Structure 1
Amino acid sequence: MGTAKGRAGNRIRKEIFAMHARPFQWQRVPIIWVFLLLIGLFQPAPPLQATTTPLPTEVMGVLKHYGIPMNAVSLMLKRVDQSQPVVSLNPYVARNPGSVIKLVTTLVALELLGPTHEWATRYLIDGILDQGELKGNLVIQGGGDPYLVTEIFFQHLRALRSRGILNISGDLIIDDSLFAPDQFDRGRFDDKPYRSYNVIPSAAMVNFSATRFSLTPKEKGISVAVEPEISNLEILNRIRVTEKKCRGDFAGWGYTIDQNANGTRVSLRGNYPRNCGNLEFTRAFLSNLDYTYGLFRAGWKELGGGFEGALLHGPVPQGAQEFFEGGSKPLKEVIAGINKFSNNTMARQLLMTLGSEIYGKPGSPGKGILGIERWLQSEGVDMPTLVLENGSGLSRICRVSASGLIHLLEKGWQSSYRPEFLSSLPIASTDGTMENRLEKEKPAGRVRIKTGLLDHVRSMAGYVTSEEGNRYLVALLVNHPLVDYESGNQVQDTLLRWILRH
């Protein structure tokens, strides 16, 4: 990069490399995580902080209505042009932020990699191309692209055909060694391994390894459509339509999973009330490697190509020749997908990318976390209670304080990449996870907020410009058994309305 900002980013990377000049042992990372967690959880707890000014009466009323005590809430509200906060309640208490932690991952990635950073997916031939037939294997070397969706992947396949590959007589080799294998299975977080938000990172992931199902009641029976088509995913539809009352989208029916040498069979069984109407949902039934292989086979066939080979997993064979390099969306668009729609898989891919870019192959969560921490330290961003696990917020051990988030937001406001960072945040009543919030107020781009939601966790952080033109930084963390989506939204919206008026 030739810009001053690019040179600064290179300087920071060099400083980080210098701090960790000895070979990085990624196998030791889990011990580091445990150590960081112990520091965050077992250091003497800071005393609960009194408010600088009284908490807005409206906000106190909502908390009281839902039975949420003040000591379960951390709040810091600060004007960008003032050093002292306007409101400060328990600002130094470490709490679980949920998806708000994505602000850390995306801002640091933006600063270290730059907004135009792209990922490369390489396609190599391990054999001879003779009059349209590849007599040998095709190799896909994953570059860790967080947004290699079906449409982009098929563009890559069309590019292979336009360059002369029509039929493949060998196998498909997938090299995903850019990232270290994840040591946890998909069901670790909530025992729901097929939910798409639980998909673990892979350098060769395509389309988040997810399949969209569409159920439509017909006069007789029910139709089931899947998108995209996966060659090694078989859907067996045994759902019966009934005239009973709808008691929930997933009440009365379910699915079973069977795996064999030919792929995975999903059997849909049970009773589906007609008045439940159409239903769409997304699941991840295949491993990342099996999904990429199955989507390749289906896509190659759809484009008219011939391929009957098997899936091979391993590094690029010696002597393989690079044939095509597929590009990606730039980072500034990727972080918009992460923050606006709170995509966990993309955030985790980005953390792995940071690890591989800073410390070299293979990328891992531990490398990415150390890179983030070193950058925060080098830039003087004070976040002493920060505990990261995977960069997405889908975690029980992730911790941060309201004060730490405000320091991060200040850094984002001062950044040369402020336009890209702010543009990535959901805009109230306009898009992303804030699309249906503050619809009566219609604040016209003046509320840019990232939210977080887990069981017993509701959080938000971002930027608000009041009706008087005052610019605020806000961070709100609520951890309590009585907080849920509805109560958390009420607390957040009440606070945001108050800020807009001031």
Structure 2
Amino acid sequence: MGWRSVAVFLASALALAAQDFRSWARQLEARGVRVSAGIWDAGTGKVLERHQDDLALVPASTTKVVSTYALLKTLKPDFTLETEVWGDLQDGVVRGDLTFKGDGDPLLTSERVWLLVQSLRKLGVQRITGGIRLDQSAFDAQKEPQGWENTTADTLPTVLALSVNFNRDEAGKLVPDPERQSREVIQRLLQEAGIAVEGRGAASEPPRKLLGWASPPLRAMVLDINKWSNNFMIEMLVRKYGAGSWPRGVKRIQEFYRTAFNLGPEVIQITDGSGLSKENRLSARTLAIILRGAYHDFEVGPEFVSSLKVIGGEPWKLKKKDANLTRRVRVKTGHLDRVISLAGYLQTLDGQARVFAIVLNGPCGDDDVWDQVSRWAN
């Protein structure tokens, strides 16, 4: 085949692909689905296909692309939070209460509290004359961010500065009194370690900081957030990012994108970090700009890209039964009632890297997005 024939063949193939993309978008719109979608070359940023890519729609959990990259870039991957333990320790006895001051660590699980208790034992703590007190002052009193009025009641537990086990019970259900659960878990682990909690007696001296317990690094937390789409963890971090305030945390994210990407708040329209709010609005183009920026960010890009789900990789099965997609798609998914979204990276059969985003609002399903991703990848 001569070069002219090759050129004609490639032109025909591209035209057919473009026709398929347009048909896909039009068929969705004919069903009452609003579409914002596109695919770009990861290296040059050249748009390859797009449809209403500037249309801002409800993005669901692809909002986490926006929030987690901003956190990684500004706080850095090694950032940690510190839960503090305060008390009046004298000769192995904490006189009065033992106070645990929260800092927004979203991974304060029973296993990590157990390790914290072992560190208290190494300090010589043998007995506590008072009880267990929780200091939640690092966060303000706001119960939930703007836009959660229409979310399901069991979507997210109470977000407190000190929260143990995601404020859920052993069956994964929300607990009505998360502070009580946290105190009970801490007290039980102390007693199992041989540290008596007597529940009486006052401190004779002002309490002092006995221990600082660091969270896992931010890179590990972001990995859990994006792999598992953990709403609780990202909202804990957004509150911490705003010095205890959801509105300040969201505003700080928006300010980051205004400064770093020239994307103003009229483009980064978010009221939370998780995507639970149906007041959030993002376009496919906005998501793609951020994804491509992260892809070329030597400082934190590898941590961000590796936090996305690997289709056909650990521990997720293929949404679309297409073996050709295995380990060729890295993606953040989003699901709400009448909302399906995907945003991430794919590798074509000839090895080219692409950035893509699809946001659908209306009567849609997973096949509607994965059919198009399969066409792009294959």
Q: TM-score, normalised by structure 2?
A: 0.87
Task: Output the amino acid matched with 1:74.
Answer: S
Q: Deviations over 1:433-490 (max 9, x none)?
A: x53324541544321000000001000100111111111111100000x22xxx2x11
Pair 1:378–1:454, CA change in 2 (3 A): same
Following superposition, the deviation at residue 284 of structure 1 comes to 1.1
C-alpha distance in 2 between matches for 1:334 and 1:185:
21
Q: Counterpart in 1 of 2:90?
A: 129
Following superposition, the deviation at residue 412 of structure 1 comes to 0.7
C-alpha distance in 2 between matches for 1:404 and 1:365:
22
Q: Counterpart in 1 of 2:4?
A: none
Task: Output the amino acid matched with 1:335.
Answer: V
Task: Output the amino acid matched with 2:179.
Answer: L
Pair 1:68–1:147, CA change in 2 (3 A): farther
User: What runs of 5+ residues in structure 1 fail to find an aligned partner?
Assistant: 1-51, 214-281, 311-316, 357-362
Task: Output the amino acid matched with 1:344.
Answer: N
Pair 1:287–1:187, CA change in 2 (3 A): farther
Q: Counterpart in 2 of 1:286?
A: 176
Residue from 110, 116, 128 that aligns with 1:168: 128
Pair 1:148–1:81, CA change in 2 (3 A): same
Following superposition, the deviation at residue 305 of structure 1 comes to 2.5
Task: Output the amino acid matched with 2:361.
Answer: N
Pair 1:309–1:186, CA change in 2 (3 A): farther
Q: Counterpart in 1 of 2:226?
A: 339
User: What runs of 5+ residues in structure 2 fail to find an aligned partner?
Assistant: 1-14
Q: What SS is found at the alignment partner of 2:340?
A: strand
- Work out whether residues 428 and 442 of structure 1, in 8 Å CA contact, stay in contact via their aligned partners in 2: no
Q: Deviations over 1:286-335 (max 9, x none)?
A: 3332221121122222223222439xxxxxx9932111111111110100
Q: What SS is found at the alignment partner of 2:191?
A: helix
The answer on 1:209 being equivalent to 2:174 is no
Residue from 147, 154, 157 that aligns with 1:199: 157
Residue from 99, 107, 115 that aligns with 1:147: 107
Task: Output the amino acid matched with 1:372.
Answer: I
- Work out whether residues 38 and 357 of structure 2, in 8 Å CA contact, stay in contact via their aligned partners in 1: yes
Following superposition, the deviation at residue 117 of structure 1 comes to 0.5
Higher relative strand content: 1
- Work out whether residues 151 and 277 of structure 2, in 8 Å CA contact, stay in contact via their aligned partners in 1: no
Pair 1:157–1:373, CA change in 2 (3 A): same
Q: Deviations over 1:21-75 (max 9, x none)?
A: xxxxxxxxxxxxxxxxxxxxxxxxxxxxxxx997562784598489634x61110
Q: Deviations over 1:139-189 (max 9, x none)?
A: 101111121122111110121122211221102221111121224499954
- Work out whether residues 158 and 167 of structure 2, in 8 Å CA contact, stay in contact via their aligned partners in 1: no
Q: What SS is found at the alignment partner of 1:94?
A: coil
Query: Taking CA–CA contacts closer than 8 Å with sequence separation of 6 or more, which of the two structures ends up with the larger relative contact order?
Result: 2
Provide the alpha-carbon RMSD of the alignment. Answer: 2.7
Following superposition, the deviation at residue 500 of structure 1 comes to 1.4
Residue from 367, 371, 377 that aligns with 2:252: 371
- Work out whether residues 330 and 346 of structure 2, in 8 Å CA contact, stay in contact via their aligned partners in 1: yes
Following superposition, the deviation at residue 390 of structure 1 comes to 1.6
C-alpha distance in 2 between matches for 1:145 and 1:59:
46
Q: Counterpart in 1 of 2:11?
A: none
Pair 1:397–1:207, CA change in 2 (3 A): same
- Work out whether residues 116 and 330 of structure 1, in 8 Å CA contact, stay in contact via their aligned partners in 2: yes
C-alpha distance in 1 between matches for 2:62 and 2:368:
16
Following superposition, the deviation at residue 77 of structure 1 comes to 0.8
C-alpha distance in 2 between matches for 1:438 and 1:426:
14
- Work out whether residues 269 and 281 of structure 2, in 8 Å CA contact, stay in contact via their aligned partners in 1: yes
C-alpha distance in 1 between matches for 2:145 and 2:239:
16
- Work out whether residues 63 and 274 of structure 2, in 8 Å CA contact, stay in contact via their aligned partners in 1: yes
C-alpha distance in 1 between matches for 2:301 and 2:261:
17
C-alpha distance in 2 between matches for 1:62 and 1:411:
26
- Work out whether residues 292 and 355 of structure 2, in 8 Å CA contact, stay in contact via their aligned partners in 1: yes
Identity %: 24
- Work out whether residues 80 and 473 of structure 1, in 8 Å CA contact, stay in contact via their aligned partners in 2: yes
Q: Counterpart in 1 of 2:331?
A: 449
The answer on 1:407 being equivalent to 2:289 is yes
Q: What SS is found at the alignment partner of 2:323?
A: coil
Pair 1:442–1:120, CA change in 2 (3 A): farther
- Matches for 1:304-453 after TM superposition, within 5 Å: 304-309=194-199, 319-356=206-243, 363-382=244-263, 384-416=266-298, 417-431=300-314, 434-438=316-320, 440-441=322-323, 443-453=325-335
Following superposition, the deviation at residue 119 of structure 1 comes to 0.9
Pair 1:163–1:128, CA change in 2 (3 A): closer
Pair 1:302–1:189, CA change in 2 (3 A): farther
Q: Which stretch of the first structure deviates more once superposed, 318-327 or 443-452?
A: 318-327
Q: TM-score, normalised by structure 1?
A: 0.66
Deviating above 6 A after TM superposition, structure 1's stretches of 4 or more consecutive aligned residues are: none
C-alpha distance in 2 between matches for 1:377 and 1:290:
41
Q: Counterpart in 1 of 2:75?
A: 113
| Count, aligned residues | 359
Pair 1:53–1:179, CA change in 2 (3 A): farther
The answer on 1:465 being equivalent to 2:347 is yes
- Work out whether residues 169 and 308 of structure 1, in 8 Å CA contact, stay in contact via their aligned partners in 2: yes
Q: What SS is found at the alignment partner of 2:85?
A: strand
Following superposition, the deviation at residue 425 of structure 1 comes to 0.4
- Work out whether residues 98 and 394 of structure 1, in 8 Å CA contact, stay in contact via their aligned partners in 2: yes
C-alpha distance in 1 between matches for 2:28 and 2:35:
14
Task: Output the amino acid matched with 1:347.
Answer: I
Q: What SS is found at the alignment partner of 2:261?
A: coil
Q: What SS is found at the alignment partner of 1:212?
A: coil
C-alpha distance in 1 between matches for 2:17 and 2:318:
29
